[in-house]
Amino acid sequence: MEKRFRELYGNLREYKEINRLELNGKHYILAYWLEDNSPLQLTVDIFRYTDSLLSQPVTKVFSGGVAEEVQAIVHFDLTGDSQDELIFVSDSGQIQIVRVLQDQKKSFAQIFMNGGSEVTIIKSTREIWIKAKTAGVLEVYRWDPSSKKFLRTKTLEILF
């Protein structure tokens, strides 16, 4: 599929890496490229496709920066709506960044982005923990269905 994608859409960008992903029963291609050829500005284009031969046109559903180096791409229902969100964890210098994308039928929307010395996602409570060693705090974020965004629910002082 990567070869076919490059044949059809390789003229759009010089994609450095191409991956496939299935999320909530839909199929996606994640195509990474360097904005301004800078290794500090890794960007992902996400395309939705309906058949593995790519005989039908793909649809671009997201394009956005993912920092310098992607450490993990996972999907998990962080919002409690029985649909998994797409989660990117990236490094940018000494900072770890988490981005949460939500499938909104025709496209993805970034519903959360934050970073710190360390990022942890707690499955059982659907929380995102952002540790800021320099500031000496741990911030806890949870999805708030009424405001439809992640809110900081706690800020804890830490020694280390």
* pTM of the model as a whole: 0.92
**Is the CB of residue 74 less than 8 Å from the CB of residue 101?**
no
* Location of structure tokens 């996602």: 121
Q: Name the residue ranges covered by the structural domains of the chain.
A: 1-65, 69-160
pLDDT digits (tens, 9 = 90+) for 2-48: 888 988 888 888 999 999 999 999 999 999 999 998 888 999 999 99
Is the pLDDT at 90 greater than 90, yes or no?
Answer: yes
Q: What is the pLDDT of residue 29?
A: 96
How many Å apart are CA 160 and CA 157, to the nearest integer? 9
Structure tokens at 72: 């993990």
Task: Kindly report the number of other CB atoms within 10 A of residue 138's CB atom.
Answer: 19
Structure tokens at 142: 């949870």
- In sequence order, what are the residues at sequence separation of 6 or more whose Cβ sits closer than 8 angstroms to the Cβ of residue 22? 28
* Beta pairing, strands 85-92 & 137-144: unpaired
Q: What are phi and psi of 36, to 5 degrees?
A: 55, 25
Q: What is the pLDDT of residue 37?
A: 87
pLDDT digits (tens, 9 = 90+) for 48-89: 999 888 999 899 999 999 988 899 999 999 999 999 999 999
Confidence of residue 122 (pLDDT cuts 50, 70, 90): very high
